[in-house]
Amino acid sequence: MTRWGILGTGGIAAAMTADLQLHGHIVNAVGSRTAESAARFAAAHALPHSHGSYEELVADPDVDVVYIATPHPQHAPNALLALAAGKHVLVEKPFTMDRAEAERVAEAARASGLVALEAMWTRWLPHIRRMHEIIADGTIGEVRTVIAQHAQRVSPDPAGRMLDPALGGGSLLDLGIYPVSFAWDVLGEPVAIEALSTPTSTGVDALTSILLGHAGGAQSVLTCGLEARGSNTALIVGTEGRIELGPFYFTPTWLRVVDSDDREVERFEARITGRGMQYEADAMERLIAAGGGEDPLMPVSQSVAIMGTLDTVRARIGLTY
């Protein structure tokens, strides 16, 4: 059995640990920057080992794969630390801060024969798998448009992580990664990128709209924001119909297919136990068991390229960290 270590003790680390344990995965250890934080997390989740540094965690012989759950700017250095110690890495989204960092992580994994995977957990959800089946069988014809939103209302505290440029704050990397990755998943790499943004008082983006052009003239219209909660739905429009993904499309409770006469022809629902993060853990363990390589649903090469798309968006809106 694959043995997991958790690097970081924040909310996303707790959610992932709970899903891992709920679905029978082995979580052996947690690492934090302080022994006290690690000990509290280990006690809360009944983990056998806690480590007061990341270096101690990646050196733990009872850990095979490390889940990186730190703030965005730490993803690349933490992943490289774990890979250098011989551990596979599941890196929370966004994979890194930019394409250059992503390339370094991907190359380090390839060179060491280890797996590096972005924790874009939505790629493996049952609804998203069904969505791809519907597109592939031609039910909605040729896809021409993807429309997706991820907007939340977060604390306006300028000292908070979401507004801190030093921590990769703003809506783009934290929230916009979902619709951008979704557009990539449906229509592939964009051939044209435009963007418009409204900044916060700290200089990070409060609201960003992105227009992607894809091969064959298809387009993606994407928005993300942190000042107001949106419907957080997605729409895939084809020449013969459309797929609607209900709120929140990145962890939906339903999708429906509507034909060109506006008649519902399918409604798909699946109950997801927990947060739904177990599916990415299953994918990670399959890759490790197979001896490495790229996951077909979230190849690391695509994670690298998506960071390139986000780099271009940031250049368009003048967002720097």
Q: Please, what are the domains in the chain?
A: 3-119 (3.40.50.720), 126-271 (3.30.360.10)
Name the amino acid, one letter, at 100: A
pLDDT at 251: 86
Cβ 9 vs Cβ 40: under 8 Å: yes
Q: Give per-residue pLDDT as tens, 20-42.
A: 999 999 999 999 999 999 999 99
Mean pLDDT, to the nearest integer, of 208-217? 98
Q: Give per-residue pLDDT as tens, 151-166.
A: 999 988 888 999 999 9
Residues across the chain: 321
pLDDT at 158: 87
Cβ 69 vs Cβ 92: under 8 Å: yes
Mean pLDDT, to the nearest integer, of 40-62? 99
pLDDT at 249: 81
Residue written as token pair 């095979």: 64
pLDDT at 75: 99
Is pLDDT above 90 for 253? no
93 is catalytic: yes
Q: Give per-residue pLDDT as tens, 66-117.
A: 999 999 999 999 999 999 999 999 999 999 999 999 999 999 999 999 999 9
Pairwise CA distance, residues 79 & 91, whole Å: 7
pLDDT at 48: 99
Residue written as token pair 């060179």: 111
E-strand ranges in the chain read: 3-7, 26-31, 49-51, 65-68, 88-92, 116-119, 143-151, 192-199, 205-213, 219-225, 234-238, 241-245, 254-259, 264-269
Cβ 134 vs Cβ 257: under 8 Å: yes
The DSSP element (H or E) to which 183 belongs, if any, is: helix 177-187
Is pLDDT above 90 for 248? no
Mean pLDDT, to the nearest integer, of 256-266? 98
Q: Give per-residue pLDDT as tens, 169-196.
A: 999 999 999 999 999 999 999 999 999 9
pLDDT at 252: 86
DSSP 3-state of 83? helix
Q: Which candidate in 25, 88, 93, 99 is catalytic?
A: 93
Pairwise CA distance, residues 65 & 3, whole Å: 6
Q: Among residues of the chain, what percentage have pLDDT more than 70? A: 100
Q: Give per-residue pLDDT as tens, 284-317.
A: 999 999 999 999 999 999 999 999 999 999 999 9
> With the CA atoms of 112, 5, 74 and 35 taken in that order, what torsion angle do they form, in degrees rounded to the nearest 10?
-130
Cβ 249 vs Cβ 91: under 8 Å: no
Pairwise CA distance, residues 60 & 76, whole Å: 20
